[in-house]
Amino acid sequence: MEKTIAVIHGDGIGPEIVEQAIAVLRCTAQRFGHSFTFIPAEMGGCAIDKYGVNLPQQSLDTCLAADAVLLGAVGGPKWDGVEKTNRPEKALLKLRSALGLYANLRPAQLFGQLSDASPLRREIVANGIDFLVVRELIGGIYFGEHQTDEIDGEPVATDVMRYAQNEIERIARTAFEAARKRRHLVTSVDKSNVLDCSRLWRQTVQSIAAEYPDVELRHMLVDNCAMQIVRDPAQFDVILTENMFGDILSDEASMITGSIGIIPSASLGAGSRGMYEPIHGSAPDIAGQDKANPIGTILSAAMMLRYSFDLAKEADAIEAAVSKVLNAGYRTADIAGDHTTVIGCAEMGQRIAREI
Ligand code: NAD
Please indicate, yes or no, whether residues 244 and 277 belong to a single structural domain of this protein: no
Spatial separation of the C-alpha atoms in residues 112 and 128, rounded to whole Å: 8
Spatial separation of the C-alpha atoms in residues 106 and 266, rounded to whole Å: 7
16 lines ligand 1 (CB under 6 A): no
Please indicate, yes or no, whether residues 249 and 275 belong to a single structural domain of this protein: no
| Cα-to-centroid distance, 25 and ligand 1 (Å) | 23
| Cα-to-centroid distance, 71 and ligand 1 (Å) | 13
286 lines ligand 1 (CB under 6 A): yes
Spatial separation of the C-alpha atoms in residues 294 and 309, rounded to whole Å: 22
Q: How many domains does the chain have?
A: 2
283 lines ligand 1 (CB under 6 A): yes
Q: Residue 331 carries which DSSP code? A: B
Q: Residue 337: how many CB atoms within 10 A of its CB?
A: 12
Nearest CA to ligand 1 atom 43: 281
Give the atom of ligand 1 at the shortest distance from the alpha carbon of 284. Answer: 28
296 lines ligand 1 (CB under 6 A): yes
What is the C-alpha R_g of the chain?
Answer: 20
**What backbone torsions phi and psi does residue 265 show, to the nearest 5 degrees?**
-155, 160
**What backbone torsions phi and psi does residue 168 show, to the nearest 5 degrees?**
-75, -40
Please indicate, yes or no, whether residues 154 and 280 belong to a single structural domain of this protein: no
**Domain CATH for 158:** 3.40.718.10
Please indicate, yes or no, whether residues 126 and 92 belong to a single structural domain of this protein: no
Please indicate, yes or no, whether residues 126 and 236 belong to a single structural domain of this protein: yes
Degrees, nearest 5: CA angle 231-240-302 = 95
pLDDT for res 336: 87
Per-residue pLDDT of the chain (356 residues; tens, 9 = 90+): 999 999 999 999 999 999 999 999 999 999 999 999 999 999 999 999 999 999 999 999 999 999 999 999 999 999 999 998 899 999 998 998 899 999 999 999 888 888 887 889 999 999 999 999 999 998 999 889 989 999 999 999 999 999 999 999 999 999 999 999 899 999 999 999 999 999 999 999 999 999 999 999 999 999 999 999 999 999 999 999 999 999 999 989 988 987 789 999 999 998 889 999 999 999 999 999 999 999 999 999 999 999 999 999 999 999 999 999 999 999 999 888 776 789 999 999 999 999 99
285 lines ligand 1 (CB under 6 A): yes
Please indicate, yes or no, whether residues 94 and 129 belong to a single structural domain of this protein: no
Q: Which residues are catalytic?
A: 142, 191, 223, 247, 251
User: pTM here?
Assistant: 0.89
- Which of 280, 285, 299 maximizes ligand 1 atoms within 8 Å of its Cβ, making it the mutation to test the pocket? 280
Nearest CA to ligand 1 atom 36: 281
Give the atom of ligand 1 at the shortest distance from the alpha carbon of 73. Answer: 40
Please indicate, yes or no, whether residues 93 and 140 belong to a single structural domain of this protein: no
Does residue 172 belong to any structural domain of this protein? yes
SS3 308: helix
Nearest CA to ligand 1 atom 1: 281
- Beta carbons of 157 and 148 less than 8 angstroms apart: yes
| Cα-to-centroid distance, 117 and ligand 1 (Å) | 18
Secondary structure (DSSP) of 57-84:
HHHHHHHHHSSEEEEEE---GGGTTS-G
- Beta carbons of 118 and 129 less than 8 angstroms apart: yes
| Cα-to-centroid distance, 194 and ligand 1 (Å) | 36
Nearest CA to ligand 1 atom 8: 283
Please indicate, yes or no, whether residues 315 and 214 belong to a single structural domain of this protein: no
Which of 245, 265, 116, 262 has its CA nearest to residue 187? 245
Please indicate, yes or no, whether residues 61 and 21 belong to a single structural domain of this protein: yes
277 lines ligand 1 (CB under 6 A): yes
Nearest CA to ligand 1 atom 10: 283
Please indicate, yes or no, whether residues 123 and 249 belong to a single structural domain of this protein: yes
Nearest CA to ligand 1 atom 30: 281
Which of 315, 337, 348 has its CA nearest to residue 115? 337
Spatial separation of the C-alpha atoms in residues 349 and 22, rounded to whole Å: 9
Spatial separation of the C-alpha atoms in residues 287 and 13, rounded to whole Å: 5
- Give the domain-ending residue among 256, 281, 301: 256
The set of residues, in sequence order, having a beta carbon less than 8 Å from that of 290 and lying 6+ positions away, is 16, 344, 345, 346
| Cα-to-centroid distance, 180 and ligand 1 (Å) | 32
| Cα-to-centroid distance, 278 and ligand 1 (Å) | 10
| Cα-to-centroid distance, 261 and ligand 1 (Å) | 9
Domain carrying residue 277: 1-102+270-356
74 lines ligand 1 (CB under 6 A): yes
Spatial separation of the C-alpha atoms in residues 161 and 131, rounded to whole Å: 27
pLDDT for res 60: 98
**What backbone torsions phi and psi does residue 107 show, to the nearest 5 degrees?**
-75, 145
Nearest CA to ligand 1 atom 26: 281
Please indicate, yes or no, whether residues 134 and 232 belong to a single structural domain of this protein: yes
Spatial separation of the C-alpha atoms in residues 24 and 285, rounded to whole Å: 25
Secondary structure (DSSP) of 319-336:
HHHHHHHHHTT-B-GGG-
